[in-house]
């Protein structure tokens, strides 16, 4: 059967019903356009957020603990004895030989590693706020974090200028009315109290970091924790943050310390993203499906109007599947044109959104809404809507072309 003939008939049916066809195309175009817009907005905001997260957090954190609880001495003595409620003695063991461990990690790691001392403390400047204090080596820090680029006042290296220098987040500074150069007091867990000079301020964009995390030198942190020389964290930055999971496993396998990737540390967040993705995908699928309803309607109408034509084509000897394909092609034409128009609409909507800036109270700047442009969005939205259209046409087309031509011919004569 000559395909041109079928295409020709399909084209004629579609082009002689301009208004109906345009409505169908508009339906598809809307569906595709809004889907692309939603996908761009959703993925844009997610990627934006993750980028900030990945920029601010170590990609892998090696901690001074093991995944399994340490074996208790009594366990070793009496293998068969069942014990419960034995207090797990916790004296912050620290990471042993951090220098040689870092050296061995550096030998294969696609990135870099730096030591730090993490502890909790209270900062006092008129009011008191609980914070996480991270002791860092200012020279090595630049290799593992974006802290240097997040500095709003002062520099990371300023930590070495004063005896007890700290760098605090802008949000914390606002909260406690701290200015660079002010002296604050830090109270450690053991009751240690140290007075420190604020030498700089940073803004990461993540509220919990900007409000609750401050930096000092390794020495200051060690004083706060009351264990001189201790390093209780190695922080790894990778060239490709996406492989952090794999690297964390390998690090942990090699050195035995618990190594947490940023994905693991944020697994609750990431799984809530997955749920959000699923919901949004469902909504988008429903949108595309609904957008093909108009096409269903049009093909139903055309097949109804064309009962005689269908009968005569079949009686002349055209196969049922060939006649049916005419109507499927009509839906495909509507779907294709609608899809291309939808791409344009989607692009325009995305562009429109990206022109809008929103005032971010935390960072205090006007940030454009982030849109993620991806050919994948266009292909998937277009593909699904084409499928929906041809699928929507299939049923009325099959119903109409199944009718025995004699029934129609008798009816018309």
Partner 1 sequence: MNEIALQAVGLVRRIEGAVSHTLVNGIDLAVNKGEFVAITGPSGSGKSSLLYLLGLLDAPTDGEVIICGQPTSKLSEDDRAHVRLTKCGFVFQFHFLLPEFTSLENVLLPMRAEGKMSEKDMQARGLDLLGSLGLQDHAQKRPNQLSGGQRQRVAIARALSNRPEIIVADEPTGALDTSSTEQVFSILREIADQGRTVVVVTHDPALAARADRRLHIVDGKIAQTFEGQKLAPEPTVAAPTDL
Q: Does 14 bind partner 1 (CB under 8 A)?
A: no
**Minimum CB distance to partner 1 smaller for 344 or for 412:** 412
* 333-336-341 Cα angle (round to 5): 125
Q: Does 82 bind partner 1 (CB under 8 A)?
A: no
Among 254, 267, 308, 360, binds partner 1 (CB under 8 A): 308
Site string for partner 1, 107-146 (x = CB under 8 A): ----------------------------------------
Token reading at 388: 């929906």
Q: Does 18 bind partner 1 (CB under 8 A)?
A: no
CA distances from 87 to 77, 79, 83 (A): 17, 18, 11
* Residue corresponding to tokens 């839906």: 331
Q: How many Å apart are CA 384 and CA 339, to the nearest integer?
A: 10
**Minimum CB distance to partner 1 smaller for 66 or for 402:** 402
Q: Does 301 bind partner 1 (CB under 8 A)?
A: no
Among 183, 240, 272, 315, binds partner 1 (CB under 8 A): 315
Site string for partner 1, 317-336 (x = CB under 8 A): xxxx-x--------------
Please count the other Cβ atoms lying within 10 Å of the Cβ belonging to residue 400.
22
Question: Nearest approach, Cβ of 24 to partner 1 (angstroms)?
Answer: 18
Q: Does 4 bind partner 1 (CB under 8 A)?
A: yes
CA distances from 102 to 34, 99, 111, 146, 188 (A): 50, 5, 12, 20, 27
Strands 233-238 and 165-169, bridge-based pairing: unpaired
The window from 112-120, 247-255, 307-315, 366-374 that contacts partner 1 (CB under 8 A) reads: 307-315
Token reading at 23: 């409505």
Q: Does 216 bind partner 1 (CB under 8 A)?
A: no
Among 246, 348, 367, 412, binds partner 1 (CB under 8 A): 412
* b/e sequence 122-151, b meaning 16+ C-beta within 10 Å: ebebeeebebebbbbbbebbbebbbbeebb
Q: How many Å apart are CA 184 and CA 225, to the nearest integer?
A: 17
**Minimum CB distance to partner 1 smaller for 304 or for 308:** 308
Give the residues lining the site for partner 1 (CB under 8 A): 1-2, 4-5, 9, 12-13, 16, 308-309, 311-320, 322, 404-406, 409-410, 412-413
């Amino acid at each position: 059967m000559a395909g041109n003939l079928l295409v020709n008939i399909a084209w004629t049916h579609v082009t002689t019903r301009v208004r109906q066809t345009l409505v169908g195309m508009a339906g598809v175009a809307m569906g595709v356009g809004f889907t692309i817009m939603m996908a761009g907005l959703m993925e844009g905001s997610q990627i934006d957020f993750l980028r900030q997260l990945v920029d601010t957090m170590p990609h892998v954190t090696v901690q001074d603990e093991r995944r399994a609880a340490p074996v208790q001495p009594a366990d070793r003595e009496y293998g068969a004895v069942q014990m419960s409620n034995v207090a797990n003695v916790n004296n912050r063991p620290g990471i042993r030989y951090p220098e040689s461990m870092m050296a061995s990690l550096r030998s294969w790691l696609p990135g870099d590693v730096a030591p730090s001392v993490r502890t909790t403390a209270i900062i006092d400047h008129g009011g008191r706020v609980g914070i996480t204090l991270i002791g860092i080596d200012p020279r090595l820090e630049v290799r593992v974090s974006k802290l240097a680029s997040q500095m709003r006042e002062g520099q990371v290296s300023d930590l070495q200028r004063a005896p007890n220098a700290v760098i605090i987040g802008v949000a914390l500074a606002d909260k406690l009315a701290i200015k660079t150069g002010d002296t604050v007091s830090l109270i450690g867990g053991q009751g240690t109290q140290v007075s420190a000079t604020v030498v700089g301020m940073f803004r990461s964009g993540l509220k919990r970091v900007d409000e609750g995390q401050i930096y000092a030198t390794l020495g200051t942190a060690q004083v706060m924790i009351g264990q001189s020389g201790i390093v209780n964290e190695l922080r790894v930055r990778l060239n490709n943050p996406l492989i952090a999971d794999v690297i964390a496993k390998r690090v942990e396998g090699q050195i035995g310390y618990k190594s947490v990737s940023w994905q693991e540390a944020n697994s609750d967040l990431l799984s809530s993203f997955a749920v959000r993705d699923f919901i949004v995908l469902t909504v988008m699928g429903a949108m595309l499906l609904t957008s093909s309803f108009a096409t269903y309607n049009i093909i139903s109408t055309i097949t109804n109007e064309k009962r005689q034509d269908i009968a005569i084509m079949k009686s002349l000897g055209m196969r049922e599947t060939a006649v049916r394909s005419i109507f499927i092609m009509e839906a495909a034409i509507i779907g294709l044109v609608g899809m291309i128009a939808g791409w344009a609409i989607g692009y325009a909507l995305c562009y429109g959104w990206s022109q809008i800036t929103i005032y971010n109270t935390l960072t205090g700047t006007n940030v454009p809404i982030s849109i993620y442009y991806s050919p994948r969005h266009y292909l998937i939205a277009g593909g699904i809507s084409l499928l929906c259209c041809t699928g929507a046409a299939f049923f009325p087309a099959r119903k109409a072309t199944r009718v025995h031509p004699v029934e129609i011919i008798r009816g018309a004569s």
